[in-house]
Structure 1
Amino acid sequence: MLLFSLWLVPWSVLVVEGRPATLVFPWGLFDPSVGRLVSLYSYLFEFTGGFGSLPAYLRAWPTSVVAFLLATLSAAGGVLVNREDSRVTVLLLVLAGLGQLSLAWGFAQQPGRVAIPVGTLALWTAAWVRYR
């Protein structure tokens, strides 16, 4: 249940000077100032030229989502059929957290931008609490 709750937590908070924050979730972007939601799919295939057209720090977002999806499936396998290699699940959670750290670092390299990698802390804490 802990891992499933991480689908509801913003993984990064992106702030561009003079604009409201944008929340990055594993399933999409949310702008709370206007209530606009853009799914990860729409972001990748409608608003950009696709995964390959993005800079590395932006590709880290969908890559970390894939790692987290695999971690969630691994944990679900442990619950449903009592078969989970916790080392694999932890590694996937750590990789997902690193992806969010990479997104935040890359985003913040331009002047007037700040990124808070909330997901990195949440994913790594979940790995520590659940699998230590």
Structure 2
Amino acid sequence: MAADSRRALALLALAALPWTVLTSGDLVFAWGLATTDPIHVTTLSDYLLVYTQGLPNRLLAWPVAVLLYLLAVANAALGTVAPEREDRRVTGGLLALAGVSDLWFALGLRTPGLLAVPVGTVLLWTAACWFHWPDLRTALWQ
């Protein structure tokens, strides 16, 4: 398997891992929110179309993070079929920005007695550095 294909698959696999872990036992994934008591799943589309009316803007950072992440995955997938068409700086930058947005979401969930751990921020930033640090370095310091 080519390096670009492995990279695209690794980025896609991030959707299977929780992005925000709450001390209440709830897990926020790229695709939805899994509640453990009682067991329930709220998809991202339900969150956006049903539950977001009246929510503070900081709680909309999760869908923004997912959008940035999906754009990064799409750009990486483009790099597997047409390497000359992908700008790897864009892919790395989108991953880094998605991590910032996930962090903002996790900070927005903080309340007394509830801790939100932004696992997705660590995962997205790690992926950005692991796969795109040379690209990001040249973009930032040129």
TM-score relative to the length of structure 1: 0.87
Match in the other structure for 2:109: 107
Match in the other structure for 1:23: 27
> How far does the alpha carbon of each residue in 1:95-119 deviate from its partner, in whole angstroms, 9 at most, with x for none?
10001110111211x2122100000
Give 1:37 deviation, angstroms: 1.0
The correspondence for 2:98, drawn from 85, 90, 96, is: 96
Give 1:33 deviation, angstroms: 4.5
Rounded Cα–Cα distance in structure 2 between residues aligned with 1:8 and 1:55: 26
TM-score relative to the length of structure 2: 0.81
Give 1:34 deviation, angstroms: 3.8
2:48 is matched by which residue type in structure 1?
L
Rounded Cα–Cα distance in structure 2 between residues aligned with 1:131 and 1:34: 40
Q: Structure 1 stretches (4+) deviating beyond 3 angstroms? A: 32-35
Match in the other structure for 1:59: 60
Match in the other structure for 2:138: none
Task: Write out aligned runs for 1:1-132 (5 A).
Answer: 1-15=9-23, 20-49=24-53, 53-82=54-83, 83-108=85-110, 110-132=111-133
Task: Report the count of equivalent residues.
Answer: 124
Q: Helix, strand or coil for the counterpart of 1:37?
A: strand
Give 1:47 deviation, angstroms: 2.7
Structure 2 unmatched runs, 5+ = 1-8, 134-142
Give 1:67 deviation, angstroms: 0.4
Structure 1 unmatched runs, 5+ = none
Percent identity between matched residues is 44
> How far does the alpha carbon of each residue in 1:35-79 deviate from its partner, in whole angstroms, 9 at most, with x for none?
311101111212332xxx321220100011110010000000001
Larger radius of gyration: 2
